[in-house]
Amino acid sequence: DNQSRNRRLGLALAEGKSLEEARQSVGEVLEGVDSTRAVVNLARRHHIEMPIAEQVHRVLSEHISPLEAVKVLLARSAKPE
């Protein structure tokens, strides 16, 4: 179901579009972008590891590819989370 704005954003990013291009293709408010930034900042402030949120934030703000973010996550040492 492609009715979710944030899902459509993710699909556009996965296609290789920049954040700005993805935003334009969705054409609606994307609260997930700002929410991700807020969650990551709060986690950092409280010294909480949130590896998936960190990588989503990197894709959105540091212009790394979704594939690179997945590689970083898969390279992590296995541990209970």
- Sign of the four-CA dihedral 41, 39, 3, 63: positive
pTM passes above 0.85: no
Tens-place pLDDT, residues 25-71? 888 777 888 899 999 999 999 999 999 999 999 999 877 889 999 99
Amino acid 1: pLDDT: 63
CA-based nearest residue to 15, from 80, 72, 68, 66: 66
Check whether 76 has a pLDDT greater than 70: yes
Amino acid 80: pLDDT: 80
Domain ranges of the chain: 5-74
DSSP 76: S
Q: Could you count the other beta carbons within 10 Å of the beta carbon of residue 70? A: 12
